[in-house]
Structure 1
Amino acid sequence: MDTIKRILDESKGSIPNHSNTALAIDAGLSPEKIASTATSEGMHELAGAIFEALQVGEPPESNPLDIVRSRLLEFRKGLPASSETAKLIDAGAPLDLISENAEEEGLFSLVAMIVEAEQEGET
């Protein structure tokens, strides 16, 4: 649940205060309801980040860093070819470099996913 809280905290500046998504967050609704509301309001990146965080319950034999690499490829499909982050993903760059560029490009859900996978990979 810490990951979802982090995603919501990072998104606060980009969610309009009067939106149903902001109201859902303020009301303390479940992450599933918040993600559903965000989807209906076109906030697909936020919804996707929440859904990904909910799916983190991967089997213990799965390596989080391997999982994030496969998710990177999925995430890449939605990025324009001109994106530096997309170019780094295509080149198989180290996760820390991808994360730095993703943050510069405002791709906070991608950054959260990478950070979480790196933390899980250390345990």
Structure 2
Amino acid sequence: MEIIVHRIRLRGGSDSDEFEEWVRETDYEACQHLPGVISFSVQRMAESADEGSGVHYFEVIAVTSRSDFSRDMETETFRRLADDFDVMAEVVEEWAGERIEPGYTADRVVCGKQTIQRKQ
């Protein structure tokens, strides 16, 4: 498994609420149609980390392999995502690497009063 991290800057005039809505409703939804994508999430930068960097978000993409993800990037689904994304934001830096397996994932997580069981 490989992990790709993109640091993202919103383009001038782009609205963060609109970008986040697009991420939730379009970007996340499309991932199920990209077979090389294992997981995908976008994180809002903490204010102290963001200050002066011009970076507003970062995304973490776990893929089966770079070659599988490259094939996904050639699909119409991915091209539509890229076109929409490019209007609102830009990737300013990319990091990529292979996970040192097995990593760690909790079986369950407690968020406030809610307990979330992880899928096995």
TM-score by length of 1: 0.29
Q: Which has the higher strand share?
A: 2
Q: Which has the higher helix share?
A: 1
TM-score by length of 2: 0.30
